[in-house]
Structure 1
Amino acid sequence: MLKMMLTCCKVYISESRNRSALESIEQAAKLFPRAPIINKFEDVAYNRVGFTLVSELAPAPSSEPCHLKSAVSAMVKAAFDNIDFEMHCGTHPRLGIVDHICCHPLADASLDQAAESARLLAGDVGSNLQVPVFLYGAAHEEGRPLDSIRRALGYFKPNSSANQWVGGPKSNLLTLNPDSGPSQVSSSKGVVVIGATKWVDNYNVPLLSSNINAVRRIAKRVSGRGGGLPTIQAMALEHGEGVIEVACNLLDPIRIGGDRVQQEVESLAREEGIPVGKGYFTDFSQEEIIQSYLKLDPLD
């Protein structure tokens, strides 16, 4: 049986309100139909959008260009051309206009192949677009985790009142050396973090409360880091008036999925006397993404 080797790339951009900018970013990707956008998830409260692209890997050895790298690089350039990081405002943390790019292997592809795609992309973005790029996960030679980069660069600390993130960095000096690109950061662009990992689901649970400290306690107790569910990362983020979400990364969704996270949040929220809404995923499952890709005609 012929193996199917696919790489998925999720691109998170710090903008969801500028329609013309988002259209320009999508048009840039459409120039590379063999790496189509499978899903787009917009969140106005967070002022953030996530794009999911998929492409088939050419059998090795091959001189065929990497369509996924080309499509994502074009999207990043379009984002830089149309969005000013200093004008950004939202309740989701971020480090740059293009805040985060993650590559995942799908079907018969390996994590090493996804990591190579991430490294190629990082080199392209850093060198050609002159922005500091940090690698994590399998794309980094020491397997550096994503949250360690974010902690070092101040990702988890709001830089404005009411738990808002506004504008760009106040200093152009970096506390970490980038893996690609310049060693100084532009306040209009920020930095880009690119990595490769096994599949990760994102699941957010809304709590009907304005008590950020109480929801932070819940998020900490849910997360593996806080002694809660292993393979779960969680943080509390304001999501509109009277709603705070426990936003979760499910690092091993087969082992611990959204239903288990929902139950745990509901249990902990009862102790705080806080009503809980139904959680939601911010993307398709990996099986749904594969099926959506296979249904597309790459020449459309």
Structure 2
Amino acid sequence: MVASAVAAAAAATASASPLAAARTGAARGALACVVYVSEGRRMDVLKAIESVALSKRITTKPNDMKTKRDDDDETYNNNAVKLVKTFIDEPYNRTGFTFAVRTDDDFDDAVNGGDNSALVVLDGKAKNERRKKKVSRLIANRVHEVATSAFMEIGSFKKHSATHPRLGIVDHVSVHPIGTCDMDAAKEAARAVGRRFGDELGVNAYMYGHATMVKGGDDGIGGEASANSAREKDTESNRERRELAEIRRKLGYFSANGENETWVGASDVYDRMQKWEVKPDFGSSEKSDVEEKGVCCVGAVPFVVNYNVPMVCELSDESQEKLALDLGKQIAKRVSQRNEIDGLPNVQSMALMRTTTTPSTPSPSRQNNKMEIEIACNLLDETSSTTRIQVQKKIEELMPELLVENVLRGVKLNGASCQIGQGYVTNLQPQDFLDAVSSTSSDDAAS
């Protein structure tokens, strides 16, 4: 009886679709992509952008663009790219739209509705290359749609302000391989996004991480030149990968230009672009484009954990606000990997004020004599390097130590006190992406 049950179960598993096999433990892979836009307070605007992010459509290459050898001329389902999270951060006036598309053997089921007869004749390498090309196009299509909506709905970058730094209306697009997905797929997708930003939206895009362009050769600005640029060669051999923090530092991302530690309008981004010897990899570099849309950083990197640790300070008067913010900045500086003495490896950090009011309001993050600051941390490699537990412990240890150091330097606390709260993660974790894309059924894919 038991043997029959086992045999029946085995037969059922053997006859099940590849998608079902993935759910029962087969190797899974996904490509994750996060699109950060500079809006977090106007719910009507965010709802309009999200409706585009959620849209389902079938895409077919126009007949006049097809060729006999074009392996992308069949109809495929754009819904294979799923919106798996929308994180609206009202205090920072910023929102992250997170997408995922599966990249394992069940990708073709999700896209083609289970009809993979055309793939039978392809060997493993050819199939993977075809899949990588299609994934790249799917991600680029979805990001392009969301970005187009964001530029239309949000309006001019000149009018934007926040207590979180940003460089553009669509500020940042990061692509991450998850599970069995390889970095090449992420690199191709990121470059496809950057290319379409420059060629079709007139947005200046700087590539970073594994998507970094090779220095020298074609300047990568606009049109066909960017699509066939010599700068699109691999950077693996010469180790010229550009870091996101480097781009941001050069363009003034970390330097608030408004009152109460706020970022207002396009600031001097264009002027900084002219002083920096590195041109954007895609886009026009026109001043009007930069002032209206800003610039965007687009990259392919291993998964990054966004971990924020709150710091709440009890203040006796407004004069102590600078003291509290300075303390937060000191903590962030000590935690960061840039601190060569005792900084944490693969951790980037900065102190930010949280606010739900407009920057013109005095003391935007202080209510009832309490001021909230966050130590915002990027954990670049939590798997084999610094973990969020270590970050939390380090910050908790630094607080009393730095308070004493400030007193010894003559800083008067006048009864002010600060406490460190429990940190939280703002983005999904790798397993969440795999679960999200695996929940797509063949019926969903065909809808």
- TM-score, normalised with respect to structure 2: 0.64
How far off is 1:169 after superposition? 3.3
Query: What one-letter code is carried by the residue in structure 1 that aligns with 2:422?
Result: K
1:230 to 325, 338, 345: 345
User: In structure 2, what is the equivalent of residue 90 of structure 1?
Assistant: 162
Structure 1: 5+ residue runs without aligned partners? none
Query: What one-letter code is carried by the residue in structure 1 that aligns with 2:128?
Result: A
> Is residue 2:250 matched to residue 1:152?
yes
> Is residue 2:358 matched to residue 1:243?
no
Does structure 1 conserve the Cα–Cα contact (< 8 Å) formed by 2:177 and 2:185?
Answer: yes
Query: What one-letter code is carried by the residue in structure 1 that aligns with 2:376?
Result: A
Does structure 2 conserve the Cα–Cα contact (< 8 Å) formed by 1:170 and 1:187?
Answer: no
| Pair 213,147 (structure 1): closer, same or farther in 2 beyond 3 Å | same
Provide the rounded CA distance (Å) in 2 between the counterparts of 1:244 and 1:171: 26
1:135 to 207, 225, 244: 207
1:1-300 matches, cutoff 5 A: 4-31=28-55, 32-57=78-103, 59-62=127-130, 64=134, 66-84=137-155, 85-141=157-213, 142-170=240-268, 172-173=270-271, 174-175=273-274, 176-184=278-286, 185-209=289-313, 210=321, 211-227=324-340, 228-240=343-355, 241=365, 242-254=371-383, 255-273=385-403, 274-297=418-441, 298-299=444-445
How far off is 1:22 after superposition? 1.2
Per-residue deviation, residues 152-180 of structure 1 (Å, max 9, x unmatched): 10000001011001112346452341101
Number of equivalences? 300
How far off is 1:244 after superposition? 0.8
Does structure 2 conserve the Cα–Cα contact (< 8 Å) formed by 1:14 and 1:94?
Answer: yes
Query: What one-letter code is carried by the residue in structure 1 that aligns with 2:310?
Result: P
- TM-score, normalised with respect to structure 1: 0.94
Does structure 1 conserve the Cα–Cα contact (< 8 Å) formed by 2:53 and 2:83?
Answer: yes
Provide the rounded CA distance (Å) in 2 between the counterparts of 1:68 and 1:267: 42
Matched-pair identity in %: 36
Tell me which moved more, 254-263 or 123-132: 254-263
Provide the rounded CA distance (Å) in 1 between the counterparts of 2:171 and 2:89: 14
Provide the rounded CA distance (Å) in 2 between the counterparts of 1:72 and 1:23: 16
* Secondary structure at the counterpart of residue 33 of structure 1: helix
Does structure 1 conserve the Cα–Cα contact (< 8 Å) formed by 2:212 and 2:242?
Answer: yes
How far off is 1:64 after superposition? 4.1
How far off is 1:292 after superposition? 2.2
Query: What one-letter code is carried by the residue in structure 1 that aligns with 2:379?
Result: L
Does structure 1 conserve the Cα–Cα contact (< 8 Å) formed by 2:144 and 2:197?
Answer: yes
Provide the rounded CA distance (Å) in 1 between the counterparts of 2:270 and 2:386: 40
* Secondary structure at the counterpart of residue 150 of structure 1: helix
| Pair 124,244 (structure 1): closer, same or farther in 2 beyond 3 Å | same
How far off is 1:86 after superposition? 1.5
How far off is 1:260 after superposition? 1.1
How far off is 1:117 after superposition? 0.5
Per-residue deviation, residues 62-98 of structure 1 (Å, max 9, x unmatched): 2747221111110011001111212211110000011
Structure 2: 5+ residue runs without aligned partners? 1-20, 56-77, 108-126, 214-239, 314-320, 356-364, 366-370, 404-417
Provide the rounded CA distance (Å) in 2 between the counterparts of 1:171 and 1:101: 18
Provide the rounded CA distance (Å) in 1 between the counterparts of 2:433 and 2:170: 22
Provide the rounded CA distance (Å) in 1 between the counterparts of 2:393 and 2:440: 36
Structure with the greater alpha carbon radius of gyration: 2
Question: How big is the alpha-carbon RMSD for the aligned residues of Structure 1 and Structure 2?
Answer: 1.8
Does structure 1 conserve the Cα–Cα contact (< 8 Å) formed by 2:167 and 2:269?
Answer: no
Query: What one-letter code is carried by the residue in structure 1 that aligns with 2:205?
Result: V
Query: What one-letter code is carried by the residue in structure 1 that aligns with 2:347?
Result: I
